[in-house]
């Protein structure tokens, strides 16, 4: 069944690519999303299932999010040093940009964004986070990230460990670094690799993980799934490729080259829950935007972007520049695709919880991986 799904998706992608070549140029991998293209029915169904939206609400939200993606980079340039971060407000359907200088508000508003005056701004908060990155965090600290809405660096601790001496000592050092606030979580995040189970996308050693996105020559995935030089087997157990580069901890990304018997297509599997998704670029979705994940264990689930540039403190070591989401995941989903609309977002790293009771999942942003290995995303 998996092979038929893959071949069907490949054929559809190749046919569509041929059609696109007759009608006009293709979008570049990092190009802006098309704000006029209607949303696929399958994506609407996924948002209805996981976000509790009606069809009309999901369609309006996707259109607003595509517009916010297009506005985000222009607003950042217009704000300059006054930029304090941005996020998507689902209630208003607009991008909100934080500013430390009221004089920049009119220029940013003219681009179609709302503005909010803040005290600290992105540059200062990034410096504070960098100071925390230099600290050694105990197991009871789950992670930390810059939150433009709070205008603070948010440190997340495991509730049961909050009053422990090691966690309290870390929080004292963190507060000395600058404006910091503390939140709690039920459990610490873990990576989502799993032991070998038949019928899933790829294996290395006794670990099963999921393909992230096709790039020309192979695919990207999570770094904790395998070291550079490790052999990769495909869903059918046959030789598939080799890890050409891998980084974990510190980062959580990897590049796998594939053998001539395998080919790449710009497709993310919908697993029958939704139709397979074509990948058209890698424009970054703002905080607050909807995002969906495809993985070999729990297949297709959706949620929202909760935070960016978060440091996640796994038991194996801290991983930096991660994006936090409300999407669930489980063992074996590691390395799988995070996508917003038709724009690639990143590869699944880890999290806490499951897809029965819920949880949170982090991904490593795709554009960082492409830049690190000099790769070109395979797009439709």
For 189-211, letters b (16+ CB in 10 Å) and e give bebbbbeeeeebbbbbeebbbbb
CA-closest candidate to residue 156, choices 133, 136, 178, 140: 140
Which of the following is catalytic: 282, 294, 334, 337? 334
The values of phi and psi at residue 303, to 5°, are -175, -150
Angle at 306 between CA 304 and CA 310, to 5 degrees: 135
* Catalytic position from the list 224, 301, 320, 378: 224
Q: Tokens at residue 135, please?
A: 């600290």
Nearest CA to 192 among 10, 30, 352, 6?
Answer: 352
Residues 219, 146: Cα–Cα separation, whole Å: 30
Retrieve residue 335's tokens: 């390395």
| Residue 251 known to be catalytic | no
Q: Which residues pair with 141 in a beta bridge?
A: 157
- Exposed, middle or buried: residue 113 (CB in 10 Å: 0-12, 13-18, 19+)? buried
Q: Which of 252, 276, 333, 342 is an active site residue?
A: 252
CA-CA-CA-CA torsion for 225, 296, 275, 290, nearest 10 degrees?
A: -60
Q: Is 246 a catalytic residue?
A: no
3 state SS for 23-43: HCCCCCCCCCCCCCCCCCHHH
Sheet bearing 114-117, strands edge to edge: 83-89, 94-99, 114-117
Say which residue the tokens 């495809």 belong to. Answer: 294
Rounded to the nearest angstrom, the gap between the alpha carbon of residue 33 and the centroid of all alpha carbons in its chain is 16
Pick from 61, 31, 24, 41: nearest CA to 277: 41
The Cα–Cα gap between 226 and 31 comes to 30
224 is catalytic: yes
Question: Which residues carry out catalysis?
Answer: 224, 252, 334
């Amino acid at each position: 069944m998996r092979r038929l799904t893959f071949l069907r998706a490949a054929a559809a992608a190749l046919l569509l690519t041929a059609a696109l070549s007759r009608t006009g140029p293709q979008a570049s991998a990092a190009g802006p999303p098309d704000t006029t293209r209607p949303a696929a029915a399958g994506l609407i169904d996924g948002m209805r299932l996981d976000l509790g939206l009606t069809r009309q609400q999901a369609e309006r939200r996707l259109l607003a999010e595509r517009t916010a993606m297009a506005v985000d980079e222009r607003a950042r340039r217009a704000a300059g040093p006054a930029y304090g971060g941005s996020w998507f407000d689902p209630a208003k359907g607009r991008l909100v940009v934080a500013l430390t200088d009221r004089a920049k508000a009119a220029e940013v508003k003219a681009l179609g964004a709302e503005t909010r005056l803040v005290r600290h701004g992105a540059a200062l908060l990034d410096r504070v986070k960098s100071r925390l990155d230099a600290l050694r965090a105990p197991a009871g600290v789950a992670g930390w990230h810059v939150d433009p809405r709070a205008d603070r660096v948010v440190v997340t601790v495991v509730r049961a460990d909050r009053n422990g001496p090691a966690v309290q000592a870390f929080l004292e050092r963190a507060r000395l670094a600058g404006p910091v606030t503390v939140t709690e979580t039920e459990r610490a995040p873990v990576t989502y690799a799993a032991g070998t189970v038949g019928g899933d996308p790829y294996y290395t050693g006794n670990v099963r993980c999921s393909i992230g996105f096709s790039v020309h020559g192979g695919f990207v995935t999570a770094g904790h799934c395998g070291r550079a030089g490790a052999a990769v087997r495909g869903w059918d157990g046959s030789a598939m490729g080799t890890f050409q580069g891998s980084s974990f901890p510190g980062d959580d990304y990897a590049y796998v080259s594939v053998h001539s018997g395998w080919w790449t297509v710009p497709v993310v599997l919908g697993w029958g829950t939704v139709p397979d998704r074509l990948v058209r670029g890698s424009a970054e979705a703002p905080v607050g935007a909807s995002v969906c994940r495809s993985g070999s264990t729990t297949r297709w689930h959706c949620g929202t972007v909760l935070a960016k540039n978060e440091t996640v403190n796994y038991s194996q070591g801290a991983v930096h520049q991660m994006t936090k989401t409300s999407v669930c995941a489980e063992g074996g989903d590691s390395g799988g695709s995070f996508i917003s609309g038709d724009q690639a977002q990143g590869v699944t790293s880890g999290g806490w919880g499951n897809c029965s009771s819920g949880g949170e999942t982090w991904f490593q942003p795709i554009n960082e991986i492409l830049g690190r290995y000099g790769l070109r995303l395979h797009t439709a």
